[in-house]
Structure 1
């Protein structure tokens, strides 16, 4: 009988930032990556890293080894995260790919001991940012994508253990929030984290994270004021209440 997945992992307890698109995850990952013990690379897009068994012989070989295609991919994903630690000499690896949110159930199967940071942002600001970021895309498609992400995030929060961080709090009280995150990750807080521009975090390019001038500034910049409840469209009211941005009706 093959060993349990958790016994096969080079990185038994990676950290995943679960968030919608346009939630400030690049800012959070740069802050964390500045820590001397935390490696938070650009978006890894592990879900798009697939294995192909291209002959009956390899299928037979993997079957004899007790390995299904999903588990072979899990081993590859694990090796990619381990590589980030090996290259940097750090102890904790954090992946912030927003697409991870759409396969969080598979992440838990791959890494039963994974740790999670749930990053929230006001849903209306997420939607507005997503629409502005892809003006060429059908707005209805963008709306559907944002709603999908937000629903998956709430499902994950109800199911998994983790720490919840609000983008608005991160930008207004960065020291307090990063101290709480460090406690959750069992690493000491380092003041250098707040000056993330002093470290090299790789390229800021579209497709693997935020690439706007704000993130390139290297400092935590104040966020926008929260919208009023009256500004929230009906399609976002339920999620705003679930995330604590609006009071629920009793």
Structure 2
């Protein structure tokens, strides 16, 4: 009797992904910007960025609003033909978001009557390459603080702190800050210096930004900076006092992983 022949086995492995449509591969050129050189404060959380922003916002030419969270503002192309329509306008989703972000900054500048805008959202450090693509002439101010002090501040602020998660979070910020501080266009300062010598540090920032220093910057409590509330920046009584308080130093007994200690030393801090 002839032996039955089994049909060839089908390959049940992974199905190759479909080729992306041409419009999905399209990278739009950069559109003209209404704001050519915005300023971004690049920092970790709990590093004094809100204090810096109210000092800058007290300048007659500088608008530094609350945290703007531009990276969370997205454009949704809701129909299959929408990318094709945008490509015909020399736009893609990323560039549409860039145009929207730029318009938000410009609108805030127009409303303020000032001519230089600063965004101090700490999480911007995680998307700094994207912000640089959006604004090739953006100017970064890198604001550092001893990682041990940041860990201590976060631990004190949170209701049920997870020490391991907090150290990982601070390390994530610190690694990105280490990259950003080597940017040749960056102006690097520390929170400790800002609170100890506010006039000297703010004079240096003004020189970097090309505006004259104003003594009124140090009297931020006499000016309107909007509401201080969660998700928009620091809302502590210390900040609301209207006075510059000396930064709390890192305590020697703060337990830091070796890499955070290494970065602290690279930034000029000593254990």
Q: Taking structure 1 as the reference length, what is the TM-score of the superposition?
A: 0.93
Alignment of 1:5-20 (within 5 A): 5=30, 8-20=32-44
Alignment of 1:85-96 (within 5 A): 85-96=109-120
Match of 2:256 in 1: 233
Match of 1:99 in 2: 123
Aligned partners of 2:195 and 2:246 also within 8 Å? yes
Number of aligned residues: 245
Alignment of 1:161-172 (within 5 A): 161-172=185-196
Q: Per-residue deviation at 1:148?
A: 0.2
Alignment of 1:161-200 (within 5 A): 161-200=185-224
1:133-159 superposed Cα distances (whole Å, 9 cap, x missing partner): 223243322221111001011011123
Structure 2 unaligned blocks of 5 or more:
1-26
Q: Per-residue deviation at 1:57?
A: 2.7
Distance 1:208-1:180 versus aligned 2 partners, 3 A rule = same
- Root-mean-square deviation (CA), in Å? 1.9
Q: Per-residue deviation at 1:234?
A: 3.5
- Alignment partners' CA distance in 1, 2:255 and 2:186: 27
Alignment of 1:145-156 (within 5 A): 145-156=169-180
Among candidates 28, 31, 34, match of residue 52 of structure 2? 28
* Larger Rg belongs to: 2
Q: Per-residue deviation at 1:64?
A: 1.1
Match of 2:137 in 1: 113
Q: Per-residue deviation at 1:80?
A: 0.7
- Alignment partners' CA distance in 2, 1:232 and 1:136: 18
| 1:157 aligns to 2:181 (yes or no) | yes
| 1:70 aligns to 2:94 (yes or no) | yes
- Alignment partners' CA distance in 1, 2:70 and 2:149: 27
- Alignment partners' CA distance in 2, 1:231 and 1:76: 43
Segments of 4+ in structure 1 off by > 3 A? 225-228
| 1:48 aligns to 2:72 (yes or no) | yes
Distance 1:121-1:34 versus aligned 2 partners, 3 A rule = same
SS of residue paired to 1:158: coil
SS of residue paired to 2:182: helix
1:113-143 superposed Cα distances (whole Å, 9 cap, x missing partner): 0001000111100011112222324332222
Among candidates 222, 225, 232, match of residue 208 of structure 1? 232
Distance 1:22-1:117 versus aligned 2 partners, 3 A rule = same
